[in-house]
Structure formats: structure tokens, C-alpha cells
Structure 1
Amino acid sequence: MSLVIYRKYRPQTFAEVVGQEHIVRTLTNALLMDRIGHAYLFCGPRGTGKTTMARLLAKALNCEKRQGFEPCNQCPSCQAINESRALDLIELDAASNRGIDEIRQLRDGIKFGPSQAKHKIFIIDEAHMLTKEAFNALLKTLEEPPAYAFFVLVTTEAYKMLPTIVSRCQRFDFTKIPLEKVKQSLLAIVEKEGFKMESQAASLIAQTAQGYLRDGQSILAKILTAADVKKIISTADVQSLLGLPDYQNVIKLADFLSTGKTKEAILLVNALVDGGYDLSQFTKLFLGWLRQIAILKVDPELRNLAMSHLTDDQFVVILGQSKALTQPQILQAIELFSHAEVKTKMSFLSQMPLEIAIIEMGLTAKENVSKIA
């Protein structure tokens, strides 16, 4: 049975990890100097590599032929972890095993040394879901663990962790992965799968994933499944499968707002609805475009800060629109459309929040013209 993309291409060495360079550097240095702590707390958004990093650390600690810091992926211990059958790597999902009884079982199990490997490693996923009683039961074990035992607590909500637990762990904060790195990672997977993909198509997937690599890989899996026999994926294919309007519609809406064409802007939004496009995704694209206009308005030299994924033609368009709009207009548009994006999901008419934002922009433009006159 074939594995899903994000499992098939899960990093097997530290060198394969996408992003999180500061964490990779610290952990690999600790392995080189044999200064691994007994307990770690990996926290950060979903899909950014926390559990993968925990497994890599476990594999490196128990590798029988490790050279430097990288696991060999050949010895029995590495193979057992890669195949999810390692007896001395215990993974507990705290979302479904959150009570004191489960932690007591873990605490009792830690009394026995490793059965096959050098160390016994416990990974507690979604650790913030543990009950207060379970946290307290875990506390003593974290204070004085056996020399062969290591803990990695993984959480997306670090603020819910007991301070007494956090203080006994080395904390690492995982961050969203830069869009360009997500894009390059996706393109590498596409090539390994025997497909070809336009660069702009990969950029669209990366933008939709919003820095969550696993989300990007899941989207890619869907697109590869739907790809035709030619195995060539175009930007139009991605837009169609994700329900995304192309940038031309984003550009048109910005043009209409900058020239006060309220009627045309409303007609455009309704045409998108009739075309079956996801207005929430469109609004996110438009907000990203407005952000780029706002940044360019500050200084054109800031192009690389937000627009590395855009073509030269798109840069020229944005530069022109940044000159046509004042900074207050741009900031007002960002505020109005940010509220509209949230309301779009709840409104019985998905286009209505966008229409209201467009009308408010038009009214403000007319008021400014009246003041000048």
C-alpha cells in the first residue's frame, strides 16, 4: 500500500528537515557534544515538523552506527524506528490518553530499562491535553528520570502547559516555514514522483498552505492524484482544483478600487461566485496582494520581503497600483477585507461581506473627492 505524501517524504535525517534551522543546529550540536537534555518541549503550529524532529532525535540517540549527529538509517534500531516497530520508542497521544492512569502506566514502564536499544525515549504528542492530575504524576518522573530515559513533549498550545513542567524541559519554538522553502520542497517531491509542475503553481500551493509544510504536502497529494496522464501540472490546474481565482481577478479588483469603480468591483465578485470560486480563498489572496502594495508603498526596495514568488510583470503591476492608492486607502482596504474574510464563512450570502467592503471603500473615495473639491 502506498504511503501518503507527508509520510512518504518525512525527513529521515536532520539534513532533510525543511526550515527550523535554529533547532536543527542546537540539537545536532548537542548530539556532537553528547550534551542531550533528559526532557524537551517542542511547541509551535501544526505541520511544522515537531513530531518529526522528536523522532529524528530518538533515532539519533539510539543509532548503533551514528557518525557525528546523523542517524545511519541502516542499523536495526534505525530501521525499527523508520518502520514504527521500535519497542524502546514509546509514543503517547495525549489527546486520547490524557488521564492519570495512562501517565501512571508510563511511569511504571520507565522503571524497566530499554529492551533492545541504548535508550528509552518517550514522545508525548499534544501534551497540553493532559489533565492537571496527569501533569502532576509526570512531574516527578521529569525531575529524576533514569539515565537511559529521555522525554520529548510536543504541543501546539504551549500556554496550556503547567509552568512546573515547562521549567523542567528545554523548550524549542517551531515557526511557520518560509513560503519559498515550502515551494522548493514541494517541487522536489513533484520531481521524485515523476511529475512536472510550473513554478507559479508550486507558489500557489505554498501560499494556500500558509507556512504549514504538512498542509502543503496534503494539497499536493490531492493535485497529483487529479493530474492527467501527461504528468504536467499547470498553474491553471492548481487554481481549478483549489477553487482559486487567478491573479488577474485579484489585479482587476485592486484596479477597480484604486479608480473608484465600485460597480465593476461588485460585478467581479459576483462573477467569481457564479464561477464557483471559494471567496474566502480569493479574499486571502487579495489581502496578500494588498499587503504587498502597502510594503511597496513604504519603499520599492522592500520587494524581496514579500514578493519573492511573484513574476516581474506582477511586480510592475503592484508598483503601479501602489502609486495609484494612498497609504490610508491601502490600510483601510486591508482592515475592511480582513473583516470581510472572516464574515464570508458565516454569511448566508458569501459575497455580501465583500460587497459591503467594496461599497465602504467607494464611499470613502467619494468623500475624499468632495473634500478636495
Structure 2
Amino acid sequence: MAYQALYRVYRPQSFQEVVGQVHITRTIQNALLEERMSHAYLFSGPRGTGKTSLAKIIAKAINCESAPTREPCNTCPTCIAITEGTSPDVFEIDAASNNGVDEIREIRDKVKYPPSQGRYKVYIIDEVHMLSTGAFNALLKTLEEPPAHAIFILATTEPHKIPATIISRCQRFDVKRHEVSQLQTRMAYILNDQDHDYDPEALKLIARAADGGMRDALSLLDQALAFSDGRLTEEAVLEVTGAVTDETLLDMAYGLQRKELNAILSTLELMLREGKDLKRFIEDLVFVHRDALLLKASPQAADLLERARPTDEFRQFVEATSTDELFQVIEELNDCQQQMRLSNHPKVLVELTFIRIAEQGRTISEQMTQLQDQVRELSRELNEVKKNGVAVTSGEAEKPKPAPKRTQIRVPKERIRQLLQRAERQHLNAIRDSWGDIMTNIRIQDGPIFALFYESEAVLCASDTLLVQFKDGMTWHYEQVSSNGRTRDVIEQALFEVTGIRREIMAVLETDWNELKNEFILQKQAERTEQVEEPETEDPLVAQAMERFGDVVEIEET
């Protein structure tokens, strides 16, 4: 006899063999004993979880010669005929290829005739959501007034596509995905039955890759057995499924945590050359960080880990990584997974994601280092105060403060002077009113750019240009906004999306801005002295300065 796939050989033939669907099997068994079977059932759920197998077991149980019974005997002629697919009273229809009105009308015309061998005619319609609208309408009449000897069992993976009028006339059961432990137990039973040697971890890898489907698990098991040489090993399963080893995943997680971009990209390239599945790799990496987050929150939850093993190395990684870092990596990888579904270049997306994670980490690290330096300086000064009883000595007070580090980028003073001439207060007020929304938009687009732009302040605005000020100590932030093209693009795009107006972004340090602002005011004062004074009228300098700067200018009486 020709070789049969494992999922066909070990297909459940009784309710007892059905794995993980107790809520269905117990209900059906009780109805069989009490002879309260419905005329129509609807089984919905993911592929390979046992929908049609349940339908055939029901067909055998109600037609079994020992009925009413909780289980079909599988030995009487009726049970054997249904198992072999030769029973004249059980009809299995694939709606994907028989979805027209004519096929359903033929069922409607023949269903009124009594069964030839068993007690019931059973119609199993697989993938019923594929029926056309006309076919559903033809089926509806039969479901409304079915013959007493007919039972319809509908199966689908997409119940939302079935008309509500059909669903309301059926008893609906949702078939659940199988748990990893259930798949492992079933595969272990099959391998023991066939006298195959195996590694328990290999079965766990297959169960994870099957994503809750028994048929997928047995198909992968069949493939892995064909690949392996005598014994089913973890290495064979990794080759068949395209997954990577736990050690590689942990190395990659460490690389992301330490921001070792060269090592990360090299490992990624090596994996792709070995033919690893990029989608599965990202999914596994998400679960590794999820497991780390779970173990960090509850060190006793080792039994709940999905992908990682609670080894000493993994626990060290958990201790060395902060909760915020784990959240950040999971969010970035989840976004990458969603974009990969629509992209023709998934490798590029993954590389960009890894680079973004590393760059964000560096930006945050720089900010933390700066804060730590400030805390140490404040602590030193506080100790001096406690030791000497005064804040600083007279000698120290006379020492000039070191000048702030100046930027190497030339300040566009002439452009700012021109902007001073045409800026309007109403534009600046509109920008300030929307500043929170603008910052939120930047943060969503790019976290590092949000971090460096967060401390800026809008000081001048025209219809086509916005000037922002940075404090003198934020030279690096100023340089990034002034010279980095991508940074400017992200900020300008956020301005456009929030305000609806495209504006060029310009930056200036506080000292340079005060110099240019005072220069402008002095210029206007000089112009005023050349004009004839008009008594008891508003000062034109004050009006013009307020029009340019808004509430930035403070008017002092002399």
C-alpha cells in the first residue's frame, strides 16, 4: 500500500481521540445519548483543528448500528463505510469548487429521499463561506424546513462571511486552536506508536511552528522525520521550519541590548544565507523579549515562557535589560512585522528596524549620561556647601565661568534678520497652540528626533518659515536640526500634518537669538528717532516688536 501522511493515518475516528475540544465533544455526546441531535451544525475555527473530523465522527455515531451511543463502534459496516468514504448516506461537499446554485438545488431535490442504509442522511459542506449568494438562498429554504432524516454539518474558517440567516438556523461551535502541550502529547503518542526516537525539544519546536493546528503539526513532523536520519533531533526541525537556535536568538537579543549594530547586521546576513525564514525569526525574537519581560515581572513564571529557555544565560540577559528597553524592542519589532506583510523588501525593513533600535538606545544613553553628570556636579557642590558652610569661596566666585561650547555650524544671521522683518504674531500663536500635537506627531514618526527636538522653543514664525531656539548648552541638538536632512524632513512633515502649512524649519542658539533680537530692536529705535514724534500715540516700535515676537518681548519704561 502507498505511504499515507501522518495526519491521514492518525485522523481521529472517535470523540475520545479528538484533542482539545471538550466543549464540543461533551455536548455532542450528551445529545447523542438523549437523541436530541439538531438538524444543522456549524463548526468554525482555524485550519487543521478538526472541524471535518468532528463532522465525520458525528455521522458515524448517529448511524452506528449500536446507536444511541456516546462513541461510534468503528466496526459495524456503516461505520466502516463512512470511514472509507463509501457510504451512500454521507455526502462531503467542498464549497470552494461546488459553490453554485445548481449544486445546492441538487442537494435540495435529493434530500427529501430517505437514507438507503443508515438512519440519517448527513451533508458535510466544507468551507461553506465560499458559497455564492444564490447558493446560500437555495440552502436557506432547506435549513428552514429540513426532513427529519437529514442533518447538515457546515464547516468554515471564516464565519463572518456566512449570512446571519444561515448561522441562526445552526448550532454553532467554535473549534479552538490547540495548545503547545496538546500538540506535543499527540506527536509523542504517534512517534511512540511508530517506534521513532526523538528529542522532546524537537516536538516543542514543531508545536510552536504549527501555530495551534494539529494538521500543520503532523505535516511538519512528517517532513522532519523524512529529513532526519533515524532520530528526530532539534537541529533537523530547525532546518525544516526555517527557525534559528535559542543561542542565536539570545545573541541577537544581547546585540540589540548593547547596541552592537555591526554584530547584529552580520548575524542577520548569515541567517539569510542559510535560508532562515525572516518572518519566523522576527516572531521568535518578539517572543524572546516577551519572555524576558514576563520573567522580569515574575521570576517564578518560568513555566509560562513561550520561546526562551530559563537558562542562566537567559536570566542574566533579563537582569541586564531594563523594562523600558524590552517594551521598546517589542513595539519596534511588532511594527516591523506589520509592515513586512505589505513590503517587497522585508530584509530592508528588518535592517532599518535594528538600526532604529540601536540609534534610539544611543540617544537615550547620551541623555542619561548627561543627567548623571549633572547629578554628580550638583552632589559635589552640595558637599562643598556642607563642608565650608558657604556656597562658594570668594576666590571661586571671582573665577570667570567657562564659555559655552560654540557650534561649528555657521548661524544664518542674515536669513534670521530677513525673517524678523516679515514674521507675524498670529503665525507664532498658531504654532504655539499646536505645539503639543506637533511634538506627538514627531514622537510617533521618530523617537530619537523627538528626544532632541523636545527642548526647543518656537520664537519666530512667518507663513513659510519657523525659527526655534535651543539653550546654549544644547549645541548638538541645534546642529542636528540645522544640518541633518532627515531630521529636518521629519519635523517639517509634522508641522505640515498638524497645521496644514508647509514651513521650513530653522534653528538658533539662545545667545545668538538674543543678539539678533536686540539688534532688531535697536535698529527700530534708531529709525524712530529719525521720524517726527507724534504725542499721545502708540509707540510704533512697541507695536512692531509685539507684532514680530509676541510675548517674547518685555517692554520697560525709561
Asked if Structure 1 and Structure 2 have the same fold, meaning a TM-score greater than 0.5 normalized by the shorter chain, the answer is yes
The one-letter code of the counterpart of 1:274 is R
Question: Quick one: distance in 1 between partners of 2:4 and 2:274?
Answer: 34
Report the Cα offset of residue 298 of structure 1.
2.8
Structure 2 residue runs without a partner (length 5+): 370-558
Could you tell me which residue of structure 2 aligns to residue 34 of structure 1?
35
Find runs of 4+ consecutive structure 1 residues off by over 6 angstroms: none
Could you tell me which residue of structure 2 aligns to residue 210 of structure 1?
211
Question: Quick one: distance in 2 between partners of 1:248 and 1:71?
Answer: 48
TM-score, reference length from structure 1: 0.93
The counterpart of 1:332, out of the listed 320, 328, 337, is: 328
Could you tell me which residue of structure 2 aligns to residue 52 of structure 1?
53
Query: Given that residues 344 and 350 in structure 1 are in contact (C-alpha distance below 8 angstroms), is that contact kept between their aligned partners in structure 2?
Result: yes
Query: Given that residues 288 and 308 in structure 2 are in contact (C-alpha distance below 8 angstroms), is that contact kept between their aligned partners in structure 1?
Result: no
Could you tell me which residue of structure 2 aligns to residue 277 of structure 1?
276
Deviations 1:15-74 (A, max 9, x none): 111111211121112212222111111001111111111111111111112473110000
**Relative to structure 1, is the Cα distance of residues 271 and 310 closer, same or farther in structure 2, using a 3 angstrom cutoff?**
closer
Could you tell me which residue of structure 2 aligns to residue 99 of structure 1?
100
The one-letter code of the counterpart of 1:279 is L
Report the Cα offset of residue 106 of structure 1.
0.4
Report the Cα offset of residue 274 of structure 1.
2.5
Greater alpha carbon shift after TM alignment, 241-250 vs 88-97: 241-250
Larger Rg: 2
Could you tell me which residue of structure 1 aligns to residue 124 of structure 2?
123
Report the Cα offset of residue 216 of structure 1.
0.9
Report the Cα offset of residue 339 of structure 1.
3.3
Could you tell me which residue of structure 1 aligns to residue 262 of structure 2?
263
Deviations 1:149-196 (A, max 9, x none): 111110100000000000000100112110111111112222222211
Structure 1 residue runs without a partner (length 5+): none
Could you tell me which residue of structure 2 aligns to residue 236 of structure 1?
235
Deviations 1:114-170 (A, max 9, x none): 011111111111111111111111111111111111111101000000000000001
Query: Given that residues 63 and 72 in structure 1 are in contact (C-alpha distance below 8 angstroms), is that contact kept between their aligned partners in structure 2?
Result: yes
Report the Cα offset of residue 88 of structure 1.
0.5
**Relative to structure 1, is the Cα distance of residues 135 and 348 closer, same or farther in structure 2, using a 3 angstrom cutoff?**
closer
Could you tell me which residue of structure 2 aligns to residue 362 of structure 1?
358
Question: Quick one: distance in 2 between partners of 1:54 and 1:256?
Answer: 50
TM-score, reference length from structure 2: 0.63
Query: Given that residues 89 and 121 in structure 1 are in contact (C-alpha distance below 8 angstroms), is that contact kept between their aligned partners in structure 2?
Result: yes
Question: Quick one: distance in 2 between partners of 1:265 and 1:224?
Answer: 33
Question: Quick one: distance in 2 between partners of 1:258 and 1:310?
Answer: 16
Could you tell me which residue of structure 2 aligns to residue 72 of structure 1?
73
Query: Given that residues 177 and 212 in structure 1 are in contact (C-alpha distance below 8 angstroms), is that contact kept between their aligned partners in structure 2?
Result: yes
Could you tell me which residue of structure 1 aligns to residue 170 of structure 2?
169
Query: Given that residues 50 and 154 in structure 1 are in contact (C-alpha distance below 8 angstroms), is that contact kept between their aligned partners in structure 2?
Result: yes
Could you tell me which residue of structure 2 aligns to residue 134 of structure 1?
135
Query: Given that residues 101 and 138 in structure 2 are in contact (C-alpha distance below 8 angstroms), is that contact kept between their aligned partners in structure 1?
Result: yes
Could you tell me which residue of structure 2 aligns to residue 201 of structure 1?
202
Does 1:353 pair with 2:352? no
Report the Cα offset of residue 2 of structure 1.
2.4
Question: Quick one: distance in 2 between partners of 1:90 and 1:105?
Answer: 12
Query: Given that residues 287 and 334 in structure 1 are in contact (C-alpha distance below 8 angstroms), is that contact kept between their aligned partners in structure 2?
Result: yes
The counterpart of 1:321, out of the listed 312, 317, 322, is: 317
Could you tell me which residue of structure 2 aligns to residue 112 of structure 1?
113
Greater alpha carbon shift after TM alignment, 238-247 vs 293-302: 293-302
Q: Which has the higher contact order (CA 8 A, sep 6+)?
A: 1
The one-letter code of the counterpart of 2:271 is L
**Relative to structure 1, is the Cα distance of residues 275 and 34 closer, same or farther in structure 2, using a 3 angstrom cutoff?**
same
Could you tell me which residue of structure 2 aligns to residue 188 of structure 1?
189
SS of the residue 1:251 aligns to: helix
Could you tell me which residue of structure 2 aligns to residue 14 of structure 1?
15
